[in-house]
Amino acid sequence: MMRRLALMLCQASGRLLPASRKRWADAMFVELAHAGNDRSALVFAAGCLHAALHERLRDLDTRFAAGLWSIGIVTALFAVWQMLCAAHGIAVIFGATDGMHVALVGRGASASLIARYDAARPVVVGCFVLLGCAQLAGAWFLSRSQLRRFVLASCASLIIAATAVGIQLSIIWKLDGVPSEFYALLVQAVAVPALLGWFQRQQDRPEET
């Protein structure tokens, strides 16, 4: 029973090893076959599993893939948030309460400023929809390791976010104390490509031996 468990651990170790260490798997099975007893075989197999896990975590390809998936998940979450904001904006267009409109009125904004804000609302909602779609596309491209398409989707997100920010600032730039929900969009559109670039540099670094 212990010998069979040791064999299973060695097989798992072989599957865990990165491509650059696959030759280690053959050596593991050779050493396992020469183990003096079942207990020694199990201890050796456990050590092989530990070494395989260590090498997998050190592998640059593994870390890069994990980084891509992490960025993809964050991007998808941002996309869901933008879609929720768009849904709220659509509800406002059809009569729901708009917190920004209430804030503008409460702070004594002029009627012309409020009118410009109301007129810009459909465009802003459209920006949220487009931004969510671009971010969902970017997350999908990352899951398929299509980095160039992800960069294009991120550039589209940046343009859309910049448009939304421009609309926001053109309306309430001088109204002190009114928060803007669009600043985070611009930060995210810049941060995601920056993170991707960082992971790309990590991948390009020579692997330690």
Choose between 203 and 84: higher pLDDT: 84
Q: For position 40, what pLDDT does the model report?
A: 83
Render pLDDT for 25-66 as a digit per residue (tens, 0 to 9): 778 877 777 777 878 888 888 888 888 888 777 776 777 777
Render pLDDT for 86-107 as a digit per residue (tens, 0 to 9): 899 899 889 888 887 887 788 7
Distances (CA, A) of 90 to 78, 87, 101, 123, 127: 18, 5, 14, 11, 12
Q: Is residue 102 part of a domain?
A: yes
Tell whether 24 and 74 lie within a shared domain. Answer: no
Last residue of a domain, one of 58, 78, 97: 58
Tell whether 46 and 73 lie within a shared domain. Answer: no
- Mean residue pLDDT across the chain: 78
33 three-class SS:
helix
Tell whether 101 and 172 lie within a shared domain. Answer: yes
Q: Is residue 209 part of a domain?
A: no
Q: For position 20, what pLDDT does the model report?
A: 73
pLDDT at 68 > cutoff 60: yes
pLDDT at 80 > cutoff 80: yes
Q: Is residue 135 part of a domain?
A: yes
Please answer whether residues 169 and 183 qualify as being in contact, where contact means their C-beta atoms are separated by less than 8 angstroms.
no
Tell whether 35 and 126 lie within a shared domain. Answer: no
144 three-class SS:
coil
Tell whether 147 and 187 lie within a shared domain. Answer: yes
Tell whether 52 and 134 lie within a shared domain. Answer: no
Tell whether 181 and 128 lie within a shared domain. Answer: yes
Name which of 118, 130, 112, 111 is nearest 92 in CA terms: 118
Q: Is residue 174 part of a domain?
A: yes
How many CB atoms are located within 10 Å of the residue 18 CB? 17
Tell whether 36 and 70 lie within a shared domain. Answer: no
What domain range is 30 assigned to? Answer: 2-58
Tell whether 24 and 107 lie within a shared domain. Answer: no
Tell whether 12 and 107 lie within a shared domain. Answer: no
Tell whether 67 and 40 lie within a shared domain. Answer: no
Tell whether 75 and 141 lie within a shared domain. Answer: yes
In the chain, what percentage of residues exceed pLDDT 90? 7
Token output for 9: 């651990």
Instruction: Write down the pTM of the prediction.
Output: 0.64
How many CA atoms does the CB half-sphere of 2 hold within 13 Å?
A: 11
Q: What is the count of structural domains for the chain?
A: 2
